[in-house]
Structure 1
């Protein structure tokens, strides 16, 4: 298995997981001792002693992972400058890899999806029905310490919530902050992305500085992303993928986030990053503490090796349709439409490809 295939796969699993996993993989491959040259063929000596048998080769990491696998990638809105601020799950993406590991499906769940969040004693959260984004913040609370929320603990409650809602067992995942994503894109030299509709930024000026927040909202000139193929820097890619106050709302934002991950995956493969251990080290160093990997007892390299044979063109982006829900005229959040819930049922039953063939509008174009 080549490092290029390993990197391409891990990038498709989640671009952010590859940054941490590729360095482990490349170290493992680069530090192996070369196999001894084969001895010349000679006549066997006349001896009654049988020739020694060679030891069985050590299986590669993750050899027992055959699928199905489910990985969750979470983008967290952290505002560390605000006292008492808790991390919110601003983006929740799930990658499903069916048994056999020859196909993958990536879909997003709305941050405002109304779900049942179970009780979580670690954070003294009693449980309740509210928006999905709050699972991360409620779970991150550390009793007696309001200044240092636990991202890994928040992920744990979010993972349980997503698993119960979708019916999928979440095997591993990662959480990355906005600052970490920004650094990742810049470390890769930016990303080329097809902007599929005009998007005006709510948060940034054309020069990248933040727009001031006044009494009536953000003010001043806006950064605008015009339709067409664009080269985006770190802050631009992050800003573009964050915008939900645009045509299509949060569902458009979900599509843009998926497209951005796909574009980053392609760039990682094109650069051949995994063939250059120093380059991978640079990426990991840039991310620093902005990336948290949660593997449920599994090392990241296990997933990288297990999924190394997945062709890069077998990743399908899926858009789950939804709609707003309210109570007494007040907005409460989002819910998936029947077609979106039916896709999850088909996914669990191993019928995703058949379902998408019958409902091609769910496939996201890239």
Structure 2
């Protein structure tokens, strides 16, 4: 097994903003982000209320924070779409308030969301952040061009290199990109009045205030749910447990939104939007309003949370990594390309 090169330094994102500029622009940016992160949730679940959401979104869609996700991705190296009408969205998440987070340039969550051409369901495929994959060379030529953990691509080349890496690994063409700070889910959950989560066992958090989670179903507020989603070291399968917990929290949010009358009550919707302080950015061509309209019939029961096929964990040199199951990866993502939903669901179960 080859030993990787010395770790390449990750870029930092600490770019100071003049105080007067930050103060002047903050209220507008904050409101735009509040609306945006909430409507991203609404659009992805399509639980109705699209008209109500559209009233908010129409006024901000032209001013949404955008990321240039594809300009630096060579078209000749990209896979071609196989099924016309299906859509694949790369969701990149970070948790900036995680006590273990040490860099603003990393992406802790990588999800490939597949929306079938009939829009009757959605499959959310988590790619473990430590998956050992070939990373193409970055545009500046200083990084990549070798195997590394998949989340190194974002540190070395931002969203475009992340798109290239995921497309090279999966063979699936990425149509859109959304970036979310999952720490902001705390405010969403509190605005919903908490969510119901079922813990697989009794365990104690490794982070202050060291709360204890008991086996079985329980209601969690935003702080507890985020703490739960961050835990992995108490579980034999480590980061796979963190992925499961995060998927549980996302599903619980979607279930609560779809059943809590949020979208049919202007007052509740307004409180929901104001309570959400996350930031979200999307690629230049993604329209949340259009997507929300397309997915208006989707319910949380039609969502599947899956994991990219792996052979487990191991080491490459000094690094602890996740090894992809090459054979299953090929057939699994071939199902995604062909929009074979039943095969995707069966192939993505661990």
Q: TM-score, normalised by structure 1?
A: 0.66
Matched, 1:236 2:240: no
Asked whether the equivalents of residues 14 and 73 of structure 1 are also in contact (C-alpha less than 8 Å), the reply is no
Q: In the alignment, is residue 335 of structure 1 matched against residue 326 of structure 2?
A: no
Aligned length: 284
- Are residues 81 and 233 of structure 1, via their aligned partners in 2, closer, same or farther at CA, if it must alter by over 3 Å? closer
Give the 3 Å change call, closer, same or farther, for CA 12–256 of structure 1 in structure 2: farther
Q: CA contact under 8 A between 1:118 and 1:161: conserved in structure 2?
A: yes
The equivalent of 1:52 in structure 2 is none
CA contact (8 A) 1:10 1:308 kept: no
Which residue of structure 2 lines up, in the alignment, with residue 25 of structure 1? 54
Structure 1 equivalent of residue 212 of structure 2: 224
Aligned match for 2:315, one of 308, 323, 326? 326
For the structure 1 residues 314 and 135, does the alpha-carbon distance in structure 2 shift closer, same or farther, using more than 3 Å as the test?
same
Q: Report the Cα distance in structure 1 between the residues aligned to 2:302 and 2:39, rounded to whole angstroms.
A: 10
Change (3 A) 1:349 1:24: same
- Go from structure 1 to structure 2 and tell me whether the alpha carbon gap of 1:171 and 1:12 turns closer, same or farther (over 3 Å shift): farther
- Give the RMSD, CA atoms, in angstroms: 3.6
Say which SS state the counterpart of residue 263 (structure 2) adopts: helix
C-alpha distance 363-26 of structure 1, shift in aligned 2 (>3 A): farther
The 1-side partners of 2:290 and 2:207 are apart by: 39
Contact kept in structure 2, 1:175 and 1:292, CA below 8 Å? yes
How far apart are residue 96 of structure 1 and its match? 0.7
- Confirm or deny that 1:176 pairs with 2:177: no
SS at match of 1:313: helix
Partners in 2 of 1:284 and 1:123 — Cα distance? 42
Distance 1:284 1:81 in 2: 26
| Structure 1: gaps (5+ residues) | 1-7, 31-65, 140-153, 206-221
Match of 1:137 in 2: 155
Q: Separation in 2 of the partners of 1:13 and 1:129?
A: 35
Question: How far apart in 2 are the matches of 1:122 and 1:22?
Answer: 44
Query: 1:113 aligns to what?
Result: 131
TM-score, length basis structure 2: 0.69
Range moving further from structure 2, 238-247 or 127-136: 127-136
Task: Return the index of the structure with the highest Cα Rg.
Answer: 1
Change in CA separation of 1:81 and 1:249 when aligned onto 2, cut-off 3 Å:
closer
Match runs of 1:1-366 below 5 Å: 11=41, 14=44, 24-27=53-56, 67-78=85-96, 85-121=103-139, 125=143, 127-139=145-157, 154-205=158-209, 222-245=210-233, 246-288=235-277, 290-322=278-310, 323-327=312-316, 330-337=318-325, 338-354=327-343, 356=345, 362-363=348-349
1:87 Cα offset (Å): 2.8
Q: Contact (CA 8 Å) 1:9, 1:311: kept in 2 or not? A: no
For 1:80 and 1:227, the matched residues in 2 are separated by 23
Is the deviation greater in 105-114 or in 178-187?
Answer: 178-187
For the 8 Å contact 1:22–1:274, the answer to whether it is kept is: no
- Following the alignment from structure 1 to structure 2, what is the Cα–Cα distance between the partners of residues 123 and 113? 22
4+ residue segments displaced more than 6 Å: 79-82
Give 1:113 deviation, angstroms. Answer: 0.9
- Give the Cα–Cα distance (whole angstroms) in 2 for the partners of residues 248 and 233 of structure 1: 26
The alpha-carbon deviation at position 224 of structure 1 amounts to 2.1
8 Å contact from structure 1 (residues 204, 239) kept in 2: no
